[in-house]
Amino acid sequence: MIPLGQTIPYTEITLMQLIMAIAVLVIGWLCTRIVIGVFKSELAKTKLPELIVEFLGRLFSVLLYVVVILLAVRALGISVSSVVLGLSAVIGLVLGFGLQDTLTNIFAGIWLAALRPIDKDEVVTTNGQTGIVSAVGMMATELRTLDNKLVIIPNKLVWGSPIVNFTRMPTRRVEVDVSVSYATDLDKAIPIALALMKDHTLVLDDPAPMVALLELADSAVNLQLRAWTKTADWWTVTLDLRKGMLEAYRREGVEIPFPQMDVHLKHG
pLDDT digits (tens, 9 = 90+) for 192-210: 999 999 999 999 999 999 9
Other Cβ atoms less than 10 A from the Cβ of 253: the count is 8
User: Which SS3 state, helix, strand or coil, does residue 165 take?
Assistant: strand
Residue 144 and residue 132: Cα distance in Å, rounded?
A: 5
Whole-angstrom CA distances from 101 to 94, 161, 165, 255 are 11, 16, 26, 58
Q: In which band, very low, low, confident or very high, does the pLDDT at 157 lie, cut at 50, 70 and 90?
A: very high
Q: pLDDT tens, 67-81?
A: 888 888 777 777 666
* Residue from 55, 48, 43, 51 nearest 165 by CA: 51
Q: pLDDT tens, 4-23?
A: 566 666 667 777 778 888 88
Q: In which band, very low, low, confident or very high, does the pLDDT at 57 lie, cut at 50, 70 and 90?
A: confident
Asked if the model's pLDDT at residue 99 lies above 60, the reply is no
Question: Which domains does the chain carry?
Answer: 15-97 (1.10.287.1260), 117-165 (2.30.30.60), 171-252 (3.30.70.100)
CA atoms within 13 A on the CB side of 229: 23
**Residue 142: beta bridge partners?**
135, 152
Helix runs in the chain, H state only: 15-45, 50-75, 80-95, 99-115, 155-159, 186-199, 234-252
